[in-house]
Structure 1
Amino acid sequence: MTDHSPSPSPGLLGAGGPLLLVPEAVFTPDGPVSGRLAVVVADGSFLAVGPADEVERTHPHLTPVRLPGHVLMPGFVDAHHHLTQSFGSALAFGEPSEIFRRVWVPLETALDEESAYVAAKLAALESLRGGFTTVADAGTRAAVDLDVVASATRDAGIRCVLGLVCNDADGGTDTDTHSTGTLANAEKHLARYADDALVHPSLAVSVPEAATARTLRDTARLAAEAGAVVQIHVNEHLAGVERTLVRYGLRPLEYLHAVGALGPHLLAAHATLLTPRELTLLADSGAAVSYNPVASAWKGNAVAPATAMAERGIRFGLGTDGTRGDGFRLADAAESAQRLAYGLAMGDSSCGAGWTWLDHAGRGGADAVGLGARTGTIVEGAAADFLLVDVSTPELRLSWDLPWELVRRGNRDQITAVFVGGRLRLWRGWPADWDGRALVERAATLSREVMARASVTRVHPTSAEARHRGAGR
């Protein structure tokens, strides 16, 4: 018989000392284990994970916090985000691909220090509300010190893989434009956050042709030496593939391989347009991919072949691309996109099953962004980045296959608590230790000021305008 006593208060969970948690189920690396496990959280990590009776016996000084109707699972990892684009997230609706020139560049360049901070913190709040405990930011075009973004994520309480943009090519010219300053800045960035508890340094190049061949090689070397990743948008849109073909005679991923920039340090964002040879290059090199299914649906030309990647052992995580910060809806989109793009045509009714998408939304994503040894799993020694999810709801109580049910029926309103680094960061959708509603109101004001000075060009009209035009016809 399940214990339906009231859930503990946020005051108890956020007390700051060690916690002994006894949930209804724990998601282990092998899947959910019901009714038999407990965890101890101390000093930001999982101190113990094991049979409840044994854990309680070996930690008699701790009062067990029983969590009826809740599962304890790893937090989601957003393997591809653009935190300083949150003021214009809805501007992508109905727009054709490659909107960065018309929307994202003018929007981000219109940000000042305060608006960049608020935009990044707003994005971090949305991510936390959706169950993400880690986000990988692919770099900003805002002309501010990158520590503004780092501070925003740190203050929000989310773990961030923070990309420094290392573009140094002028229109795709050759290595004569290589800037030693670019690499010096990259080294400083990697050192600046090397010991930060929540901010993890990364390097980034917008697209392969945005950096010289020498810089692509050097950033790869620096990242590999630092145990970091280089984030590059690769094979995302038809126009991007064609640009690289015309300029170099190679597709983007082939070009990265040719210049020596392909390897385990690479986090290839999107990778939707892949040939069989490019799949082999990914598999052989150990490079990782951010599979961004919602971005494909909203503004893409194709869906990355994620089930094929899984079968071939290609490392990948799931990313939002800043579309919407809901981990459960992202996992659902990941499975649905594979089924629509590939499974229906071949009669594959499973498309990886539920466990595949939960695994790559957590552990696989952590590995892809370079944090596989730190987060993404509920094991002793790992960072205590986790969710308490209410499974007593009508959607989940009658459970037969919890991983599948969380993928297809889970929602962010079922997330009771979000912990990052062992601290309670969110309780029932709002920050536990700062004023999230005040931030949202400030963001609403600043976003209008930023949009007033940004030269954003939209192709698609608003919904109301589109309806009016349709009625006119």
Structure 2
Amino acid sequence: MNQPERELLTGPGPLLLVPDAVLLPEGPVDGLAVVIDDGRFEAVGPADELERTHPRSRAVRLPGRLLMPGFVDAHHHLTQSFGAALAFGEPSEIFRRVWVPLEGALDEESAYTAAKLAALEALRGGFTTVADAGTRAGVDVDVVASAARDAGIRCVLGLVCNDADGADGADGTDGGDGGATEAGPAVLRNAEKHLARYAGDPLVHASLAISIPEAATERTLRATARLAAESGAVVQIHVNEHLAGVERSLLRHGLRPLEHLHRIGALGPQLLAAHAALLTPHELTLLADTGTAVSYNPVASAWKGNAVAPATAMAERGIRFGLGTDGTRGDGFRLAEAAEFAQRLAYGLSTGDSSCGAGWTWLETATRGGADAVGLGARTGIIAPGLAADFLLVDIGTPELSLSWDLPWELVRRGNRDQITAVFVAGRLRVWHGRPADWDGAALVRRAAELARATVRKADITRVHRTSTAARALHQSREPAGERRAAR
């Protein structure tokens, strides 16, 4: 696609797109077109029919392109992007040593820049929606909202509602920082204001967040569940992620974290349980019975986790779940591949399950499953009339995809962000061949590099391991000279 075609995609008025195929819930369908107007899909149907019934729409033919829903990142930490590889190779419980100090060192400019940088990476990877689990930076959360809007991504924006004095800080998960932020009543007043603040916002959707169950009082856990349910929002809580957190809950309550949330009445369709990697059969039943949603974060499990969530079992039980990056890397295709790959290694090999849900399961959970999990199932996630025009144009004429026998499987196992021609959010072109369509991405990256260096120097970050380069040098210095020569 050349520059004139890009200009056709960004012009005014209704837009009629005629790709080679459209990815619907039942699979890719040839011969379809879509009409986009006022940020939404106005019509989806046979191309010749829509061309006849919408003569005033600007028609753009897209040979060699698949039009598919944008990916939904069901779990992210937008203001942690400056950390990047600081967490690589570290033991699983890194929150207090890396993320809390890093976010604590952010000011308004650096928090905005970090969040916009993360949003750009997500857009480049085909994500049209991200769920931010709440920043611990000492700035107004609207800084993160502004970054998401300016980048052009849809954002489910969490407000941290921790208020427990008893969190002992030994956790270190992607959760509590070991203390209360405010007293309970103040937290709930702020939660109500946050939920009202973004009502009607076209791109930002309010959410509440509690780091881990022990980071909030039982009163606040119940109250945030009620507030979210009443407002149609979600509460994001890191649940059953690490062994240490499960064991502390057993010692404190005699129950595992998910069981504790059930006992106090906090489970339900309004809860988005992040990770849920350590689940018993009983806890799977609780999720299924209560309609609680899960963010399955397979890359996070590989990089810093204790276990892989039993996602194929969740799918079989009808448990609602989406896929999340946890801020690891912003490539929707690689996330879907990791979701399938992790299930194959953790469960499929030992049981002889060579399919592990097949390609369609992971495409579905990466798109409409994620939209449902983050509370936006009625707004985005599929290509259908009335829903937001959040979608991708994918080049299926590449060596990886052109000889297609089973496109959903091939998208999962052979797709990557290099094949994404264009990313649209709310009907607007946001990214074109990996670059922002209407703002300077290179300038943002340069400024982020400057601010990241200053922020990391200021933050009291503690790492167990050296960088890989330093570790290699130390390893070589310990080898006998003869062995070094033999290795060369």
* Counterpart-to-counterpart distance in 2, 1:84 and 1:16: 34
5 Å-filtered alignment, 1:175-324, equals: 179-324=184-329
* 2:439 aligned with 1:434: yes
Indicate the residue corresponding to 2:45 in structure 1: 50
Task: Measure how far apart 1:112 and its partner are.
Answer: 0.1
Cα distance in 2 for partners of 1:8, 1:18 equals 17
1:6 shift after superposition: 6.2
**What SS class does the counterpart of residue 48 from structure 2 fall into?**
helix
Deviation at 1:434, TM superposition (A): 0.4
Structure 1 position 100 matched with structure 2 position 95: yes
**Residue 229 of structure 1: how far off its partner (Å):** 0.2
CA shift at 1:8, angstroms? 5.5
Contact 1:178 1:212 in 2 (8 A): no
Deviation sequence 1:243-286 (CA, Å, 0-9, x none): 11111111000000011101000000000000000000000000
Residue matched to 2:109 = 114
Specify which of 17, 20, 25 is matched with residue 24 of structure 1.
20
CA distance in 1, matches of 2:398, 2:71: 21
How far residue 209 of structure 1 moved from its aligned partner, in angstroms, is 0.3
**After alignment, is 242-251 or 191-200 more displaced?**
242-251
With normalisation by structure 1, the TM-score equals 0.97
- Counterpart of 1:378 in 2: which secondary structure? coil
Determine the structure 1 residue equivalent to 2:6.
10
In 1: Cα distance, 2:477 partner to 2:12 partner: 61
Distance 2:85 2:372 in 1: 30
- Structure 2 contact 210–237 (Cα < 8 Å) conserved: yes
Question: Residues of 1 paired with 2:122 and 2:2: CA distance?
Answer: 27
Task: Indicate whether 1:335 and 2:340 are aligned.
Answer: yes
Paired residue type of 1:170: D
Question: Could you tell me how far apart the structure 2 residues matched to 1:425 and 1:160 are?
Answer: 14
Q: Which residue of 2 aligns with 1:398?
A: 403
Contact 1:235-1:270 within 8 A present in 2 as well: yes
Give the SS at the match of 2:23: strand
Distance 1:18 1:427 in 2: 20
Counterparts of 1:343-354 in structure 2, within 5 Å, are: 343-354=348-359
Residue matched to 2:483: none
Letter in 2 for 1:465: A
Unaligned runs of 5+ in 1: none
Aligned-partner SS, 1:214: helix
Partner Cα distance (1:351, 1:365) in 2: 19
Contact kept? 1:8, 1:65, Cα under 8 Å = no
Verify the 8 A CA contact 2:13 2:57 in the aligned structure 1.
Answer: no
Residues 383-392 or 63-72, more deviating:
63-72
- Deviation string for 1:293-333 (max 9, x for gaps)? 00000000000000000000000000000000000000000
User: What is the one-letter code of the residue matched to 1:28?
Assistant: L
Q: Which runs of 5 or more residues in structure 2 are unaligned? A: 169-178, 479-488
Find 1:85's aligned residue among 71, 80, 98.
80
* Sequence identity percentage: 79
2:173: which partner in 1? none
Residue in structure 2 matched with residue 171 of structure 1 by the alignment: 166
Residues 370 and 332 (structure 1 numbering): CA distance in 2 closer, same or farther, change over 3 Å?
A: same
1:355 and 1:252 map into 2 onto residues whose CA distance is 31
Letter in 2 for 1:228: A
Q: C-alpha displacement at 1:13, in angstroms? A: 0.6
1:365 equivalent to 2:361? Answer: no
Provide Cα deviations, 1:143-175, integer angstroms capped at 9, x if missing partner.
000100000000000000000000000124999
Deviations 1:12-47 (A, max 9, x none): 11113211000000011211102x100001000000
Structure 1 counterpart of 2:384, which letter? V
> How far apart are 1:10 and its partner, in Å?
1.7
Cα distance in structure 2, aligned partners of 1:61 and 1:107: 52
Q: Distance in 1 between matches of 2:377 and 2:265?
A: 24
2:60 counterpart (62, 65, 71): 65
* Rounded Cα–Cα distance in structure 1 between residues aligned with 2:440 and 2:34: 29
Q: Deviations over 1:167-225 (max 9, x none)?
A: 000124999x9521100000000000011000000000000000000000000000000
Which amino acid in the other structure matches residue 78 of structure 1? Answer: D
Rounded Cα–Cα distance in structure 2 between residues aligned with 1:470 and 1:255 = 46
Whether 1:453 and 2:458 are equivalent positions in the alignment is yes
Equivalent residue of 2:83, what SS?
helix
- RMSD after superposition: 1.4
Is the 1:121–1:152 Cα contact (8 Å) retained in structure 2? yes
| TM-score, normalising length: structure 2 | 0.94
Aligned ranges 1:405-444 → 2 under 5 Å: 405-444=410-449
Counterpart of 2:281 in structure 1: which amino acid? Answer: P
Give secondary structure in 1 for the equivalent of 2:237. Answer: strand
